[in-house]
Amino acid sequence: MLTRLRNGILRAQDLRESGAASPTQRPSMACELVELSAKRATWRVPVPNQADCYLKAEPGGPERFVVHIDAETFYRRWLETSPTFPK
């Protein structure tokens, strides 16, 4: 848990230091749904300069959802709207 928190803080610092996204930056490749069944959904997530990763979600009741987002945009907006985030 602490490792994930540390990684998140380091990622936020990287985004903060990088400033605004470049308008010529190529958008991230979308993930691809590779399996869908009553037991799980599995996506292939392309990672630049690395092997693809896979994400799996299993049914968790009416209050768990999977939402596709642009991670860069999400983190930037999160930082912009979180004045209490550690500097």
Reading the chain (87 residues) residue by residue, the pLDDT tens digits are 677 777 777 777 777 776 655 555 555 667 888 999 988 889 998 888 889 989 898 887 778 777 777 777 887 787 777 766 555
Helix residue spans in the chain (DSSP H): 2-18, 71-80
Report the predicted TM-score, pTM, of the whole model to 2 decimal places: 0.47
Residue 85 inside a domain? The answer is no
The residues with which 69 forms a beta bridge, in sequence order, are none
Residue 57 inside a domain? The answer is yes
How would you list the strands of the sheet with 41-45, edge to edge? 32-36, 41-45, 53-57
pLDDT of residue 9: 77
Give 49-61 as a 3 state SS string.
Answer: CCCCEEEEECCCC
pLDDT of residue 29: 65
Number of domains in the chain: 1
* Domain residue limits at 11: 2-20+27-80
